[in-house]
Structure 1
Amino acid sequence: MPSVLERIDLRTSAETKALIARAAATAGMSVSAFLLSAAQERAKAVLSEVESLTLSPRDWEAFVTALDNLDQPRPKLAAAMERYRAWRSEQTDT
């Protein structure tokens, strides 16, 4: 099933339009293709900044160590789970 294409409308000054048109022509692209390409690149860059995590070597070691110790007993977590189960049991009994 073909995907439905969405439309984006925008307004700009004549100077900005001319600048974009010149850049698109230089790149051998239509204005629409140029704008879409530039917007996609910028959107990916913006999202990459907030959706990725860069760790120092020391922080990476701490992260890996924490992952390696996931199977260690967690008494507070076990107690919290037990309280939750008891609470859920009370909720379903009423």
Structure 2
Amino acid sequence: MSVAVGHVHFRTTPEIKQRIADAAALLGQSVTDFIEAAATERAQQILSQQTLVLTDSERDRFIKAIDTPFEPTPALLKGAERVMRAVREGALDT
């Protein structure tokens, strides 16, 4: 069985390289393993911020909200009217 290997190359200062090497050594890891673990953890943090997890009841409320037409409020109608008037008068481009 073969394993595909991807390569990532980056440049850094000698100081940062040494700091990484020192931290990896303290953990008994190679620099590659240390960087891979740190980058993977940070990537997961960022990606998890982009994922919204709903409970069953939240999901049901969300589905009901998007499936149920709503009546526009007077303020919404007034705002839409102002925008349409501005478009007709050329104050806003569509």
**TM-score scaled by length of structure 1:** 0.58
**Superposed displacement of residue 78, structure 1:** 4.8
Unaligned runs of 5+ in 1: 25-30
Q: Which has more helix, going by share of residues? A: 1
1:16 pairs with one of 23, 30, 49: 23
Using the alignment, how far apart are the partners of 1:6 and 1:23 within structure 2?
A: 19
Using the alignment, how far apart are the partners of 2:20 and 2:34 within structure 1?
A: 15
Unaligned runs of 5+ in 2: 1-8
**TM-score scaled by length of structure 2:** 0.58
SS at match of 1:49: helix
**Could you give the per-residue CA deviations for residues 36-90 of structure 1, whole angstroms, max 9, x where no partner exists?**
3113211222113321112121111001111222xx2542345432321212333
Summarize the alignment of residues 1-94 of structure 1 with structure 2, pairs less than 5 Å apart.
6-9=10-13, 10=16, 11-12=18-19, 15-20=22-27, 22-24=28-30, 31=31, 33-69=32-68, 72-76=69-73, 77-90=76-89, 91=91
Using the alignment, how far apart are the partners of 2:49 and 2:72 within structure 1?
A: 34
* Count of residues paired in the alignment: 78
**Superposed displacement of residue 16, structure 1:** 2.3
